[in-house]
Structure 1
Amino acid sequence: MTEVSRRVPAAPPAGADGSPPPRRLPRPGPAIAVVVVLVLAAAPLFLAPYATTTLTRMLVFGLLAVSLDLLVGITGLPSLGHAAYFGAGAYAAGWVSLHVTAAIPVPLLVGAAVGGIAAALTGWVAVRSAGVYFLMLTLAIGEVLAQLAHSWQSVTGGADGLAGIPAPALGGEPLANTGFLYWYVLAVGLVMFAAVWLLARSPFGTALRGIRDNEPRMRAVGYPTTLYKYAAFVAAGTVAGAAGSLLAAQQRLVTPADVGFTTAALVLLAVVIGGAGSLWGPVLGAAIVVLVRDALGPGLGGHGELLLGIVFVLVVYLLPRGAAGIGSLRVRRRRS
């Protein structure tokens, strides 16, 4: 009898009413991500060229917002000069496309490298400050690079910008079609987003969150917090430079406005609207900013900035964690 009882598997524990326990369902996060990627990949097949171009700009600005979220949401370093590395990468990729080659992936690699180098040269000073001082120091760095873009006419084209940038070429054929260019931007954006996502969930990203929450304690247990913040600053500048190369490929024009305060403020606004620290939330916030600025703004008589300000105020008061915090808000309401 004992031998038979050992061979019979034990029954699963029943519920409170004697019914069998519910089956565990798979987490919906990966499934939703796959659906979103498939929808984005199929979008040019159903959208008009202008709508596809607008969606391409959303992806470019979304990648820039992800790079800033690595500083703001993960490391706790709000920056008002992040557009400087975005513009540096855009100018570098545009100049290489004009004077050397537009073949993929040369402009992308050059833009990412220049953005990372610019961040490395300026970040070592910036990360030694904190709070309002860091905010104002990054703003000053951004304005200096914007003024450099204005004055260095032989390279940047001055106030007129760097125009006539050729489309990126794949296998000798330029990606002049809006759909092909969109797929190129989407592919690069997904790869860069995955890299930032893996970085944020690595032990390095965990240390960055610890620095964000309590830097003195992290320093007390032996972490070189300044070095960690500097590495995050350079990584964010590299991703921003890659986003700038995509801007040059999509817009075919780079101006000093892409380096200045307006772009830096808009991308910080996108991070706040989407939800700092979530990575996917800033992408949604960037889409909202581009939609209001480029699609709805002209129809509102140029009052797109006013509408963005209203959206920002509503998000701050109603959704302190941004659009990414809606899910956790629902969970809390169900529990209560």
Structure 2
Amino acid sequence: MNVRWLSWVSIGLLLFIGILIPYFLPPVYVNLASEILIFGLLAMSIDLLLGYTGLVPLGHAAIFGVAAYVVAYLNVRLGLPHTIVIPAGVISALLISGVFGLLAVRTTGLHFMLITLAEGMLVWGLAYRWTSVTGSENGISGITRPDFLILSWQFYYAVLAIFTLCALILFRIAQSPFGLSLRGIRDNESRMPMLGYNVTLHKFLAFLISGGFAGIAGTLYALYNRFVSPAMVEFARSAEGVLMVILGGSGTLLGAVAGSALIILIRNVVSLYTDRWLIVMGALFVLVILFMPDGLIRGPGRIIASLQRAGGSWARYAIRLSGSRSPSIPTSEVPVPTNRDIP
């Protein structure tokens, strides 16, 4: 079985386990699974920029939060139906990511990080100051769900279906010629124009696609949490998304989901036993960076390969050592031929 088939079998097994979750876990953990999938989708959208394009976005929570605010405002303040509210949230995310992308994609490295950080802080400031729309610190509460998504298991299956579809689309994009060109930009951006690629356009499209999936995640989170506040668009939320990608392994997409699961489980489960759960998360992040710098997905394979190489090196050393101890004839006992021995 090759690596590709093994990957598809693993994904199928995870999907099968995900389908069975509502049958074996109480509603509180079903809701937790929904949250993991939502933030996993946000982390995957960040990974399209971070892992495949080599750009570190520090304002993606703003796109995520704008979609959630649009859903909340249209649903609670204007009373519009969900058939209008949900598409409007995704479209608003696409619009804001288009504006942000036009300002950011002409830069690279630290400048890209600072511009996206400034864009995120701008949205955060509006969320606090535009009280008539956002409710400031009080936020917007009372968001409703469609009638067929009221129960926790109903909403979970809807999130699982949307997450699966979005993940397949993202995997297809990553493996397409467009995804390969993004990797080329990541590895050697200065060479890509010489090969005929429009680097700025590719980066803008990657930013737009990433923002669209972040908007889907924000729309789902508004329906999940039924409450939107400025905390959704602050810098800590963007940094958390980047941390999910790094922990799971950038450039894998699936690693973003693993990082999301790890962080959310620590935040919601470990915090039940200790108020110092941030110390646990920080220590875990340090351990992963030290021993599995490629992330949780690639890390175990890299460790196993290192152990195999180390085992092979020890075996070769033992063979050489045992060969050096083979019996030999002392020099003093070696007979020296004389003239009589020569015919």
After TM superposition, the score normalised by the length of structure 2 is 0.86
Structure 1 unaligned blocks of 5 or more: 1-22
CA gap of 1:24–1:267, structure 2 versus 1, over 3 A, is closer
Per-residue deviation, residues 96-149 of structure 1 (Å, max 9, x unmatched): 332244435x44322221111101011111111111111111111101101111
Query: Counterpart of 1:103?
Result: 82
Off by >4 Å, runs of 4+ in structure 1? 23-26
SS of the residue 2:293 aligns to? coil
Structure 2 residue 209 is matched with structure 1 residue 235: yes
1:312 maps to which residue?
Answer: 285
The superposition leaves residues 7-31 of structure 1 with CA deviations (integer Å, 9 ceiling, x where unpaired) of: xxxxxxxxxxxxxxxx989832211
Which residue pairs with 1:9 in the alignment?
none
* C-alpha distance in structure 2 between counterparts of 1:24 and 1:181, whole Å: 36
Residue 265 of structure 2, aligned match among 286, 291, 306: 291
1:145 partnered with 2:123: yes
Aligned twin of 1:76: 54
Q: Is the 8 A contact 2:292 2:300 kept in 1?
A: no
Question: How do 1:31-42 and structure 2 match up within 5 A?
Answer: 31-42=9-20
- Structure 2 counterpart of 1:136, from 105, 114, 122: 114
Question: Any conservation in 1 of the 2:293–2:299 contact (CA below 8 Å)?
Answer: no
1:305 & 1:36 partners in 2: Cα distance? Answer: 28
> What residue is the counterpart of 1:6 in the other structure?
none
1: distance between equivalents of 2:64 and 2:121?
Answer: 13
Q: Which amino acid aligns with 2:215?
A: G
Amino acid at match of 1:147: G
Indicate the SS of the match to 1:273. helix
Tell me what 2:21 maps to: 43
Specify whether residues 160 and 33 from structure 1 end up closer, same or farther in structure 2 by C-alpha distance, changes over 3 A only: same
User: 1:75 aligns to what SS in structure 2?
Assistant: coil
Distance in 2 (CA, whole Å) between partners of 1:102 and 1:137 is: 36
Conserved 8 A contact 2:148-2:154? no
Quick one: distance in 2 between partners of 1:298 and 1:226? 46
Specify the alignment match of 1:272 in structure 2: 246
Residue identity in the other structure for 1:177: L
Aligned mates of 1:195, 1:27 — CA distance in 2: 18
Counterpart residue type for residue 151 of structure 1: R
What is the RMSD of the two structures over their aligned residues, measured on CA atoms? 1.7
Contact 1:71-1:78 at 8 Å conserved across structures: yes
- Confirm or deny that 1:220 pairs with 2:194: yes
Contact 1:102–1:166 (8 Å) recurs in 2: no
The residue number in structure 1 matching 2:133 is 155
Assess, with a 3 A threshold, how the Cα gap between structure 1 residues 101 and 34 changes in structure 2: closer, same or farther.
farther
Q: Structure 2 regions of 5+ residues with no counterpart?
A: 313-343
Task: Please identify the structure whose Cα radius of gyration is greater.
Answer: 2
In the superposition, the TM-score normalised over structure 1's length comes to 0.88
